[in-house]
Amino acid sequence: MSDPVRSRVVVHGRVQGVFFRDSARREAGARGVAGWIANRPDGAVEAVFEGDADAVRALVSWCREGPGSADVESVEESSEDPEGLTGFDVR
């Protein structure tokens, strides 16, 4: 396994109330990605994904579509230094 990477994403659009966070939690678990996801007051969803580079990239890519009931308008992504997170939290 390669060195872990960490990405922070902010997903804009109709992404609250459509099971985006729980779907992302399941996707992260399937890929072995740690981190967290939370609704923001501005209607966006923010998440941190940490793990294998390919798995994190796949999860960020998934966020560009989200679950079927979501309507993703844009995704902001930034890289951060990994913190050694374990597990995945829905906040």
Question: Domain boundaries in the chain?
Answer: 5-90
One DSSP character per residue, 62-77 reads: HHTT-STT-EEEEEEE
pLDDT tier for residue 2 given thresholds of 50, 70 and 90: confident
Give the chain's end-to-end CA distance (angstroms, integer).
28
What confidence tens digit (pLDDT) does each residue in 60-88 have? 999 999 999 999 999 999 999 999 999 99
Query: Measured between alpha carbons, how far is 52 from 12 in angstroms, rounded to an integer?
Result: 25
Catalytic residue flag (residue 39): yes
User: Which of 8, 14, 39, 57 is flagged as catalytic?
Assistant: 39
Query: Left (φ > 0), alpha (ψ -120 to 50) or beta: where does 50 sit?
Result: beta
User: Which of 6, 21, 25, 31 is flagged as catalytic?
Assistant: 21
pLDDT tier for residue 89 given thresholds of 50, 70 and 90: very high
Catalytic residue flag (residue 31): no
Q: Choose the CATH number for 5-90 among 3.30.365.10, 3.30.70.100, 1.10.1040.10, 3.40.50.10490.
A: 3.30.70.100
